[in-house]
Chains A and B, each alone.
Chain A
Amino acid sequence: MNKKNDKLMMTIVGLAIGVISAALVYFGNPKNMGFCIACFLRDTAGGLGLHKAPPVQYIRPEIIGIVIGAFLAAFAKKEFRSQGGSAPMTRFVLGFFAMVGCLMFLGCPYRMILRLAGGDLNALAGLVGFTAGIFCGIFFLKNGYSLKRTYTLTKSEGYILPIIELVIFALLIIKPAYIAFTAEGVGPGAMHAAVGVSLAAGLFVGVFAQRTRLCMVGGIRDLVLFRETRLILGFLAILVAAFVTNLVLGAVTGTPYFVLGIEGQPVAHTDGLWNALGMLLVGFACVLLGGCPLRQLVMSGEGSADSAVTIIGLMVGAAFCHNFGLAASGEGPTPAGKTAVIIGIIVVAIIGVVNTYVRQDAKVATETK
């Protein structure tokens, strides 16, 4: 594919994903949350009983759709490869703290765009922090940060996460007693599009995010590092398309989908500092991971065991956030959540330093002692 087509394709896909994301709200998802990888992994963790926060328990078919869609696209294009072994525990920890940051801000980078498209100005603070976090990550990348190489693994390895997603989907359909569902009116977990609609939207995003390598962190990162605009075109296209779709939906339905302001935004709080610091942690951790939560889902569908471990890290992080009161809510951040974000930034910085400046060779390490 030549360069021009490449960017055109990215823009078209971004526009389509933006429309779908806004439309999912019309079909029942929470406002400004047509898609949110962090929120949906958190809801899924709740649905599986990994945390017991009644407002946010629902197995989200969008997540399943993204992984399976990416799997199918990669498989069809012969890009599916079982790979892994690049610092899995480091990735787990980065995933864990990326989620801590997301649940301070109340959204992943993808939802940050959708919040902006819905007029939520709190997301601007998030965007500032997010960009700062990406710069922190780029500092380490430029100085040689690497989680070292991946290896080709046994074929079955890459199938495991997609199969787990199918099993989780079966649980959603069968609804055994141990699968939790948020009761109507209790919280955002009760707000969702029909299973088929959500799954189809997820599959679409999964397929096309795989084809285009769409990544919310990669956009700003590549612009800064290489003056490369391809990925940020996708980011901007989603923003524009979701914004226009919100306006259209508002005009057609009579209920506003775009409300410009700071106060009273859906599933958001107004603490600018902590919105920014939460997203700083997300941007920082995601650059060190090599991709935003959406991209991690897609890569896990492509057979990356490293990304699958990252997803597990994100889900465990979400469970911790709700079991220990770290997640913010519409009322604002919690003291424990603030502490967790600070710890997260420190831990991610240590991971950056260790994988940039410390020779990862046990022999050398003992000699310098």
Chain B
Amino acid sequence: MVDARGLSCPTPVIMTQKAMKSKGDYYEVLVDSNTPRENVTRYAESQGYKVAVEEKDGEFLLKISK
């Protein structure tokens, strides 16, 4: 679980990149604005993951899975 709320790009993507070094099958990334939502999604997809987005109270929970 990566909490990247309030952080501006590219930091959320770097945090995701670092987390993914463990080569796990499932990650969750929490962001609260659109640019990181798009960028983290784009990065995860480029690494061969699928991304599902849940929006709640202006925050986005990105569920990233193989």
- Interface residues in chain A, defined as those with a beta carbon under 8 Å from any beta carbon in chain B: 3, 6, 79, 81, 83, 86, 141-142, 146-152, 213, 218, 221-222, 225-228, 230, 290, 306
User: Are the CB atoms of B35 and A228 closer together than 8 Å?
Assistant: no
Q: How far is the CA of A86 from the CA of B33 in the complex (A)?
A: 15
Q: Who on chain A is nearest to B5 by CB? A: A149
| Contact A150-B6, Cβ < 8 Å, known A142-B14, A228-B43 | yes
Q: Is the CB of B8 within 8 A of A290?
A: yes
Cβ-based interface call for B22 (8 A): no
A346 to B37, CA, bound (A): 34
- Check B11–A141 contact: CB distance below 8 A: yes
Interface SS of chain B: helix
Pull 14 A–B residue pairs with CB atoms less than 8 Å apart, ordered by A. Answer: A81-B58, A83-B33, A148-B6, A148-B7, A149-B7, A213-B35, A221-B10, A222-B10, A225-B10, A226-B13, A226-B46, A227-B46, A230-B42, A290-B10
Q: Collect the chain B residues with CB atoms within 8 Å of residue A152's CB.
A: 58
Give which listed residue, A149, A226, A228, A290, contacts B6 with CB less than 8 A.
A149
Tell me the complex Cα distance, A81–B58, Å: 10
Interface string of B10-48 (1 = CB under 8 A from A): 110110010000000000000001110010001101100
* Cα A86 to Cα B4 with chains together (Å): 13
Q: A141: which B residues are within 8 A, CB to CB?
A: 10-11, 14
Query: Counting CB contacts under 8 A, is B9 at the interface?
Result: yes
**B17 & A81 in contact (Cβ 8 Å cutoff):** no
- Other A-B contacts than A146-B7, A225-B14, 8 sampled, CB-CB below 8 A, are A81-B33, A141-B11, A141-B14, A151-B6, A218-B9, A222-B10, A226-B10, A226-B13
